[in-house]
Amino acid sequence: MAAAGAAAVTALLAGCGGQAATGDQGPYNGSEIKGAFTLPSTEFTDNKGEPYDLKEDSAGKYTAVFIGFTNCPDICPTTMADLSQAKGMLDESEQEEFQTVFITADPERDDPELLDMWLSSFDPSFVGLTTDLEDTDATANELGISVSRPEDRSGDYQVDHGGQTLLFDPEGNSRIMWSYGTEPEKVAEDLETVIGEGA
Protein backbone atom coordinates (compact mmCIF):
# COMPACT_ATOMS: atom_id res chain seq x y z
CA MET A 1 0.00 0.00 0.00
CA ALA A 2 1.21 3.49 -0.79
CA ALA A 3 2.49 5.64 2.06
CA ALA A 4 -0.56 7.88 1.81
CA GLY A 5 -2.82 4.87 2.01
CA ALA A 6 -1.01 3.60 5.07
CA ALA A 7 -1.42 7.00 6.70
CA ALA A 8 -5.14 6.85 6.00
CA VAL A 9 -5.49 3.41 7.51
CA THR A 10 -3.74 4.50 10.71
CA ALA A 11 -6.46 7.12 11.14
CA LEU A 12 -9.23 4.54 11.56
CA LEU A 13 -11.47 4.78 14.56
CA ALA A 14 -11.61 1.79 16.86
CA GLY A 15 -15.36 2.21 17.14
CA CYS A 16 -18.29 4.57 17.27
CA GLY A 17 -17.51 7.42 19.62
CA GLY A 18 -13.71 7.19 19.45
CA GLN A 19 -11.23 9.80 18.29
CA ALA A 20 -9.13 9.67 15.14
CA ALA A 21 -5.55 10.73 14.67
CA THR A 22 -4.54 12.88 11.73
CA GLY A 23 -1.81 12.06 9.22
CA ASP A 24 0.43 14.32 7.19
CA GLN A 25 -1.75 17.18 6.05
CA GLY A 26 0.10 18.61 3.06
CA PRO A 27 -1.72 21.56 1.46
CA TYR A 28 -5.11 20.78 3.02
CA ASN A 29 -6.77 20.93 6.43
CA GLY A 30 -7.45 17.22 6.03
CA SER A 31 -4.83 14.60 5.18
CA GLU A 32 -3.76 14.37 1.56
CA ILE A 33 -4.31 10.82 0.27
CA LYS A 34 -3.98 11.47 -3.45
CA GLY A 35 -4.35 8.20 -5.36
CA ALA A 36 -4.27 5.98 -2.26
CA PHE A 37 -7.76 4.61 -2.97
CA THR A 38 -10.10 4.41 -5.94
CA LEU A 39 -13.86 4.03 -5.90
CA PRO A 40 -14.79 0.40 -6.66
CA SER A 41 -17.53 -0.48 -9.14
CA THR A 42 -19.83 -1.91 -6.48
CA GLU A 43 -23.53 -2.15 -7.24
CA PHE A 44 -25.71 -0.59 -4.56
CA THR A 45 -29.35 0.44 -4.20
CA ASP A 46 -29.69 4.14 -3.46
CA ASN A 47 -32.09 5.88 -1.09
CA LYS A 48 -34.61 6.29 -3.92
CA GLY A 49 -34.64 2.56 -4.59
CA GLU A 50 -32.60 2.86 -7.81
CA PRO A 51 -29.42 0.98 -8.79
CA TYR A 52 -26.22 2.92 -8.10
CA ASP A 53 -22.75 1.95 -9.27
CA LEU A 54 -20.36 3.61 -6.82
CA LYS A 55 -17.69 4.37 -9.42
CA GLU A 56 -19.80 5.10 -12.50
CA ASP A 57 -22.59 7.06 -10.84
CA SER A 58 -20.18 9.15 -8.77
CA ALA A 59 -18.13 10.11 -11.82
CA GLY A 60 -17.98 13.76 -12.78
CA LYS A 61 -18.24 15.16 -9.25
CA TYR A 62 -16.05 15.53 -6.19
CA THR A 63 -17.58 12.92 -3.91
CA ALA A 64 -17.30 12.70 -0.14
CA VAL A 65 -17.80 9.08 0.98
CA PHE A 66 -18.67 8.14 4.54
CA ILE A 67 -19.53 4.68 5.89
CA GLY A 68 -21.81 4.52 8.93
CA PHE A 69 -25.35 3.66 9.99
CA THR A 70 -28.53 5.54 10.81
CA ASN A 71 -28.75 4.24 14.39
CA CYS A 72 -25.29 5.66 15.16
CA PRO A 73 -25.51 7.85 18.28
CA ASP A 74 -22.83 10.41 17.50
CA ILE A 75 -20.25 10.11 14.71
CA CYS A 76 -22.66 9.63 11.81
CA PRO A 77 -25.20 12.39 12.50
CA THR A 78 -22.43 14.81 13.44
CA THR A 79 -20.50 14.06 10.25
CA MET A 80 -23.59 14.43 8.04
CA ALA A 81 -24.44 17.74 9.72
CA ASP A 82 -20.86 18.95 9.26
CA LEU A 83 -20.83 18.00 5.58
CA SER A 84 -24.14 19.76 5.07
CA GLN A 85 -22.78 22.91 6.70
CA ALA A 86 -19.59 22.71 4.64
CA LYS A 87 -21.58 22.39 1.43
CA GLY A 88 -23.61 25.46 2.38
CA MET A 89 -20.40 27.49 2.59
CA LEU A 90 -19.59 26.82 -1.08
CA ASP A 91 -20.81 29.01 -3.89
CA GLU A 92 -23.48 27.68 -6.23
CA SER A 93 -21.10 26.45 -8.93
CA GLU A 94 -18.94 24.65 -6.36
CA GLN A 95 -21.99 22.99 -4.81
CA GLU A 96 -22.92 21.62 -8.23
CA GLU A 97 -19.53 19.90 -8.45
CA PHE A 98 -19.79 18.26 -5.02
CA GLN A 99 -21.86 15.44 -3.57
CA THR A 100 -21.98 13.38 -0.38
CA VAL A 101 -22.45 9.61 -0.47
CA PHE A 102 -23.36 7.74 2.72
CA ILE A 103 -22.85 3.96 2.62
CA THR A 104 -24.63 2.09 5.37
CA ALA A 105 -22.55 -0.39 7.34
CA ASP A 106 -25.84 -1.79 8.68
CA PRO A 107 -27.78 -2.94 5.59
CA GLU A 108 -29.87 -5.37 7.61
CA ARG A 109 -31.66 -2.41 9.23
CA ASP A 110 -30.97 0.52 6.89
CA ASP A 111 -33.24 0.04 3.89
CA PRO A 112 -33.56 2.71 1.16
CA GLU A 113 -36.65 4.26 2.74
CA LEU A 114 -35.00 4.69 6.12
CA LEU A 115 -31.82 6.04 4.52
CA ASP A 116 -33.84 8.56 2.54
CA MET A 117 -35.74 9.79 5.58
CA TRP A 118 -32.60 10.03 7.71
CA LEU A 119 -30.40 11.74 5.11
CA SER A 120 -33.13 14.19 4.12
CA SER A 121 -32.98 15.63 7.62
CA PHE A 122 -29.42 16.77 6.82
CA ASP A 123 -29.53 17.50 3.08
CA PRO A 124 -31.98 16.13 0.50
CA SER A 125 -29.17 15.92 -2.06
CA PHE A 126 -27.18 13.40 -0.01
CA VAL A 127 -27.05 9.93 -1.58
CA GLY A 128 -27.59 6.89 0.66
CA LEU A 129 -26.45 3.45 -0.47
CA THR A 130 -27.17 -0.07 0.71
CA THR A 131 -26.24 -3.56 -0.45
CA ASP A 132 -25.60 -6.95 1.12
CA LEU A 133 -23.14 -7.45 3.96
CA GLU A 134 -20.49 -9.07 1.75
CA ASP A 135 -20.33 -6.22 -0.76
CA THR A 136 -20.58 -3.63 2.01
CA ASP A 137 -17.57 -5.05 3.79
CA ALA A 138 -15.61 -5.53 0.55
CA THR A 139 -16.19 -1.87 -0.33
CA ALA A 140 -15.17 -0.70 3.14
CA ASN A 141 -12.02 -2.81 2.92
CA GLU A 142 -11.10 -1.36 -0.48
CA LEU A 143 -11.47 2.14 0.97
CA GLY A 144 -9.44 1.36 4.08
CA ILE A 145 -12.41 1.88 6.44
CA SER A 146 -12.97 -0.50 9.35
CA VAL A 147 -16.40 -2.05 9.95
CA SER A 148 -17.27 -4.51 12.73
CA ARG A 149 -20.65 -5.88 13.82
CA PRO A 150 -21.60 -8.09 16.76
CA GLU A 151 -22.38 -11.70 15.92
CA ASP A 152 -25.72 -11.42 17.73
CA ARG A 153 -27.75 -8.79 15.90
CA SER A 154 -31.15 -9.82 17.19
CA GLY A 155 -31.68 -6.74 19.36
CA ASP A 156 -30.56 -3.13 19.45
CA TYR A 157 -26.90 -3.25 18.50
CA GLN A 158 -24.15 -0.86 17.49
CA VAL A 159 -21.82 -1.13 14.49
CA ASP A 160 -18.19 -0.13 14.97
CA HIS A 161 -16.86 1.78 11.98
CA GLY A 162 -14.14 4.17 10.95
CA GLY A 163 -15.05 7.83 11.38
CA GLN A 164 -13.08 9.24 8.45
CA THR A 165 -14.62 10.85 5.37
CA LEU A 166 -12.82 10.33 2.06
CA LEU A 167 -13.00 12.82 -0.79
CA PHE A 168 -12.70 11.48 -4.34
CA ASP A 169 -12.13 13.45 -7.51
CA PRO A 170 -14.41 13.25 -10.58
CA GLU A 171 -12.32 10.31 -11.88
CA GLY A 172 -12.85 8.31 -8.68
CA ASN A 173 -9.39 8.77 -7.15
CA SER A 174 -8.95 9.70 -3.50
CA ARG A 175 -7.71 13.19 -2.69
CA ILE A 176 -8.36 14.11 0.95
CA MET A 177 -9.30 12.35 4.19
CA TRP A 178 -11.04 14.26 6.98
CA SER A 179 -10.97 12.79 10.46
CA TYR A 180 -14.09 12.82 12.60
CA GLY A 181 -14.60 16.23 14.13
CA THR A 182 -12.97 18.27 11.35
CA GLU A 183 -14.76 21.62 11.44
CA PRO A 184 -17.14 22.40 8.56
CA GLU A 185 -15.19 25.59 7.78
CA LYS A 186 -12.03 23.56 7.26
CA VAL A 187 -13.84 21.03 5.08
CA ALA A 188 -15.27 23.86 2.99
CA GLU A 189 -11.82 25.42 2.61
CA ASP A 190 -10.45 22.11 1.33
CA LEU A 191 -13.34 21.70 -1.08
CA GLU A 192 -12.83 25.20 -2.46
CA THR A 193 -9.12 24.45 -2.90
CA VAL A 194 -9.47 21.08 -4.58
CA ILE A 195 -12.36 22.18 -6.84
CA GLY A 196 -10.34 25.24 -7.81
CA GLU A 197 -7.35 23.04 -8.63
CA GLY A 198 -9.49 21.06 -11.05
CA ALA A 199 -11.03 24.08 -12.74
CB burial readout 68-100, b (16+ within 10 A) else e: bbbbbeebbeebbebbbbbbeebeeebeebbbb
HEC string of 4-72 equals: HHHHHHCCCCCCCCCCCCCCCCCCCCCEECCCCCECCCCEEEECCCCEEECCCCCCCCEEEEEEECCCC
Residue ranges of alpha helices (H) inside 36-173 are: 75-88, 92-96, 112-120, 133-142
**pLDDT in 10s for each residue of the chain, 199 residues:** 333 443 444 344 434 544 333 445 578 999 999 989 999 999 999 999 999 999 999 999 999 999 999 999 999 999 999 999 999 999 999 999 999 999 999 999 999 999 999 999 999 999 999 999 999 999 999 999 999 998 888 778 889 999 999 999 999 999 999 999 999 999 999 999 999 987 5
According to CATH, the superfamily of the domain at 3-10+26-148+159-198 is Glutaredoxin (3.40.30.10)
